[in-house]
């Protein structure tokens, strides 16, 4: 089990990895974004909603649980192309990272519920 300090440290390290990757024209795999978000949330919740352990504000991309286009497509019962089109139009909340769409998992769940789909 990780302590608060360890979770905060790992979250900050992953944020830095994401930043450096972007500066060098690369991208981190979606799982890195997911882990950073989970660690930041765990540490933040553990200190009762304060963010005093953060050295800098979290990047906007880490405010979401991000999933790949193919995962979103499977959950929505549509094609990857359809998910990319929804993201490009702004109909589905997503971020473009190094040429790839990363989709907000909450937006996928919300859209799925509106359409009456059951998530796998």
CATH value at residue 102: 1.10.1660.10
Q: What is the pLDDT of residues 90-102, one digit of tens each?
A: 889 888 877 888 8
Q: What is the pLDDT of residue 117?
A: 59
Q: How far apart are CA 19 and CA 21, in angstroms?
A: 5
14 and 52 together in one domain: yes
69 and 44 together in one domain: no
The residue written with tokens 């009456």 in the block is: 116
71 and 19 together in one domain: no
Alpha helices in 55-104 (DSSP H): 69-76, 80-89
41 and 69 together in one domain: no
Q: Once rounded to an integer, what is the mean pLDDT over residues 75-96? A: 91
What pTM did the predictor assign? 0.47
108 token code pair: 């996928």
pLDDT of residue 108 exceeding 90, the answer is yes
Q: How far apart are CA 119 and CA 90, in angstroms?
A: 22
74 and 112 together in one domain: yes
Q: Is the dihedral of CA 89, 91, 95, 99 positive or negative?
A: negative
**Cβ neighbours of residue 33 closer than 8 Å, sequence gap 6 or more:** 18, 61, 62, 66, 102
Higher per-residue pLDDT: 62 or 42: 42
Q: What is the pLDDT of residue 96?
A: 81
78 and 108 together in one domain: yes
- Of 3-7, 35-39, 42-46, 49-53, which range is least confident? 49-53
**Cβ neighbours of residue 42 closer than 8 Å, sequence gap 6 or more:** 2, 7
Backbone angles phi and psi of 52, in degrees to 5:
-65, -20
> Which of 35, 56, 77 lies at the terminal end of a domain, its last residue?
56
Q: What is the pLDDT of residue 46?
A: 54
45 and 86 together in one domain: no
How many domains, the chain? 2
42 and 6 together in one domain: yes
Q: Which long-range contacts (CB under 8 A, 24 or more apart) does 77-81 make?
A: 77/117
pLDDT of residue 65 exceeding 80, the answer is yes
12 and 48 together in one domain: yes
For 81, the domain range is 64-120
């Amino acid at each position: 089990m990780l302590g608060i300090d360890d979770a905060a440290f790992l979250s900050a390290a992953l944020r830095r990895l994401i930043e450096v990757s972007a500066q060098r024209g690369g991208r981190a795999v979606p799982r890195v974004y997911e882990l950073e978000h989970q660690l930041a949330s765990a540490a933040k919740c553990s200190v009762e909603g304060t963010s005093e352990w953060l050295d800098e504000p979290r990047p906007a991309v880490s405010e979401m649980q991000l999933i790949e286009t193919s995962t979103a497509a499977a959950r929505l019962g549509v094609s990857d192309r359809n998910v990319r089109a929804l993201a490009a139009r702004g109909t589905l909340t997503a971020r473009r990272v190094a040429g790839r769409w990363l989709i907000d998992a909450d937006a996928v769940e919300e859209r799925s519920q509106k359409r009456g789909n059951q998530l796998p």
